[in-house]
Structure 1
Amino acid sequence: MSEGGLRLEERDDGWVLAGSGAAAFALVDEYLAYLGDRNYSPKTVRAYGYDLLAFCRWLAGEDMTLTAVDTDVLLKFLRACRDARVPGRPGPNVVALSGRRLDRYAPATINRRLAAVSGLFAFRAMRNPDAANPVPKGREARWVASGERTGMLAHTVRRPTRRSVLRLRQPRRLPRPLDQGQAAELLASFHTWRDRAIAGLMLYCGLRSAEVLALGIVDVDIGGRWLQVVGKGERERRVPLDTDVASVIQVYLLAERPETASGRLFIVAKGPNRGRALTAAGLRTIFRYHRGISEITGGHPHALRHTFGTALAEAGVDLAVMQALLGHAHVDTTARYIHLAPAHVKAEFDAARDRMRARP
């Protein structure tokens, strides 16, 4: 795709397009500011900004403006996204087991670009009802599971929205947990109390990596064994704190955590950033190192959370309880773990098989 002289910059008032030709796409700056005003996650605003940057660069390369965009133009843009090569990836002769070339954008990436473009034109239509939205709508997205539209709390169900028919079909993959031996081996490779506490919060409490990093000292009630967690969308929840993890956190606070003015729980212990809050990049570095020494290639932070969710499903924990513990906005996300209960599924399968064979 043509660069078009455009780039994305972060300023005090948010993300904006900069460079030659940016004035022609001022609507993008207004839309990103609107997302910030609506309290969207800074990561979401940044991701949408880069998606719209790719769209505006393509338009500039085609010598087109936003006002000229119709459905045919969007189809051409999506085709260009599918045909584009991702910089830095192996060439066209390297493919995944599914047959997809690794130098191409994944369907999820292209669908996110479409969502950003659709949001941009919906924002324009909101401000100017006479401006048509070139993104065609499709069937309603399924925000609720079967049976949730009725009952005492039916009025609280979020209203479904329509997804564009231009969306690419993308595979629905199940979470990949670690088995018991892998999880134990990965945890055994962590030597500091801080890193053990981080891994324990993910494996035994089901926290996301961002939730772990956002924890403050005041959010951890070691005596009462509770955690006050802020998840996606700034949604708060209370999570029970595992006894062993609580002991590890207590030792970390008493013996290892450096003196600092930061209220965050997990602090950098060494180097030039000593005393500062641990960052996402720092956490990735920690896990990358321990994947290497433990040789557990699937030992990513989110794999520990998946292991926790799978353990709950195999134990037969109620789906609503699992949803509350994991902090999922929708029960369909939690339901994926039900399919990851191989011990329970095999037991039921064997029982059914025995009943069938016992028949005269």
Structure 2
Amino acid sequence: MFLADFIQYIRNEKRYSPHTVTAYEGDLQQFFQFLHPGEDLATKHPAEITYHDIRNWMVKQMDEGISPRSVNRKLATLRKYFKFLLQRGKVTANPTAKVTAPKVTKSLPVVVEADKMTALLDGRMDDGTAPIFSNDFAGLRDKMIIEMLFGTGMRLAELLGLKDGDIDTREKTIKVLGKRNKQRIIPLNTELLALIERYREVKKSEIFNNNSLTFIVTNKGAAAYPAFIYLTVQKYLSYISTQDKKSPHVLRHTFATSLLNKGADLNAIKELLGHANLSATQVYTHNSVERLKSIYKQAHPKA
């Protein structure tokens, strides 16, 4: 009950991304199914939910091997849901108020090593053989995906929402619509700009059944979708890396870490990434510190 109202609220008023809205809805449905297995979700009133219900759900997830980080995310969904209900007078108390979130071990952002990233962008396999990208529209499009994610640091949802008109080749900038509908401008490097112009030409020459204004399209000309980008990134990162994580966000992390290692100002990186506050950006400084420690151990005679 009230789930549809909440989803409409975060979608239309809070302007959350489609991916976030889907995640929130899935978390809440999972919680309600835990409370009343197999019953109609719409008949359950939130006022019936207690602190113990939420705590038991969290314990069950931990017992099933769900990571503390994922449990925390689901708990955050419940907190926001009950805050929404309180504001609208649907409940008189927030059962999440007394719930303590499980401790999460802080982990460093996963990045691709600089030399491997260079090899990938040059179209070379990990063993030096070439080419990686096929010499057709699909190959050019795939290279565009990798180059765009690494060259701008944009999020998956931002890449999916990118339109042809958002790229200004004259000013060498790209307009990105980020979280909460916040707009930011990202500069384009010369190589990425040249690739964009080439991609546009080939894309225009293709005869698609569905001509989309979306910048990244499938082989049939339809707008790209999350799984399509994920599979593309995983495919090409597998050529040059054996690390477990091979997602679009890894390229975002690699973008930020590369800038920091080259001496970029942290506030500038914050603006490029579209972070709301500096604390979110500071996580990348830990990668740089670890890199300095490694260099010190290798180079200093007293290390």
* Same structural fold, with TM-score higher than 0.5 when normalized by the shorter chain: yes
CA RMSD of aligned residues (A): 2.9
Distance 1:333 1:120 in 2: 24
- Residue 268 of structure 1 aligns to a residue whose secondary structure is coil
Structure 1 counterpart of 2:32, one-letter code: C
Q: 1:197 deviation in Å?
A: 2.1
Bigger shift: 221-230 or 26-35? Answer: 26-35
Other-structure match for 1:255: 202
Determine if contact 2:146/2:233 at 8 Å carries over to the other structure: no
Candidates 84, 87, 98, aligned match of 1:123: 84
Structure 2 counterpart of 1:53, one-letter code: Q
Determine if contact 1:59/1:65 at 8 Å carries over to the other structure: no
How many residues are paired up?
279
Alignment deviations for residues 183-235 of structure 1 (CA, whole Å, 9 cap, x no partner): 12333123322222221122222222322222211111123211111122221
Other-structure match for 1:176: 110
Distance 2:31 2:115 in 1: 46
Candidates 297, 319, 322, aligned match of 2:269: 322
Q: 1:245 deviation in Å?
A: 0.8
Higher strand residue share: 1
Q: 1:125 deviation in Å?
A: 2.0
Determine if contact 1:266/1:277 at 8 Å carries over to the other structure: yes
Candidates 213, 218, 223, aligned match of 1:268: 218
Instruction: Tell whether 2:5 aligns with 1:58.
Output: no
Distance 2:141 2:116 in 1: 20
Alignment deviations for residues 230-257 of structure 1 (CA, whole Å, 9 cap, x no partner): 1222211100101001111111112344
Structure 1 or 2, whichever has the larger Rg, is 1
Structure 1 counterpart of 2:6, one-letter code: Y
Other-structure match for 1:277: 223
Q: TM-score, normalised by structure 1?
A: 0.69
Q: TM-score, normalised by structure 2?
A: 0.81
Q: 1:295 deviation in Å?
A: 5.2
- Residue 185 of structure 2 aligns to a residue whose secondary structure is strand
Determine if contact 2:112/2:241 at 8 Å carries over to the other structure: no
After superposition, the Cα gap between the structure-2 partners of 1:27 and 1:318, relative to the gap in structure 1 and judged at 3 Å, is same
Candidates 62, 74, 79, aligned match of 2:59: 79
Candidates 129, 133, 139, aligned match of 1:190: 133
For 1:270-309, what aligned pairs fall within 5 Å after superposition?
A: 274-294=220-240, 296-297=242-243, 298-309=245-256
Structure 2 counterpart of 1:66, one-letter code: P
Q: 1:285 deviation in Å?
A: 2.3
Q: 1:168 deviation in Å?
A: 1.1
- Residue 341 of structure 1 aligns to a residue whose secondary structure is helix
Q: 1:130 deviation in Å?
A: 6.8
Other-structure match for 1:29: 4
Instruction: Tell whether 2:184 aligns with 1:237.
Output: yes
After superposition, the Cα gap between the structure-2 partners of 1:217 and 1:307, relative to the gap in structure 1 and judged at 3 Å, is same
Structure 1 counterpart of 2:133, one-letter code: F
Determine if contact 1:182/1:296 at 8 Å carries over to the other structure: no
Structure 2 counterpart of 1:30, one-letter code: D
Distance 1:44 1:77 in 2: 21
Instruction: Give the number of the structure with larger relative contact order, counting CA–CA contacts within 8 Å between residues 6 or more apart.
Output: 2
Structure 2 counterpart of 1:132, one-letter code: A
Other-structure match for 1:95: none
Q: Please, which runs of 5 or more residues in structure 2 have no aligned partner? A: 124-131
- Residue 56 of structure 1 aligns to a residue whose secondary structure is helix
Distance 1:65 1:216 in 2: 42
Distance 2:9 2:90 in 1: 17
Distance 2:91 2:110 in 1: 47
Q: 1:114 deviation in Å?
A: 1.7
Distance 2:76 2:247 in 1: 28
Determine if contact 2:172/2:187 at 8 Å carries over to the other structure: yes
Distance 2:246 2:48 in 1: 48
Other-structure match for 1:111: 72
Distance 1:239 1:213 in 2: 16
Distance 1:264 1:221 in 2: 15
- Residue 184 of structure 2 aligns to a residue whose secondary structure is strand
Determine if contact 2:31/2:57 at 8 Å carries over to the other structure: yes
Q: 1:278 deviation in Å?
A: 1.9
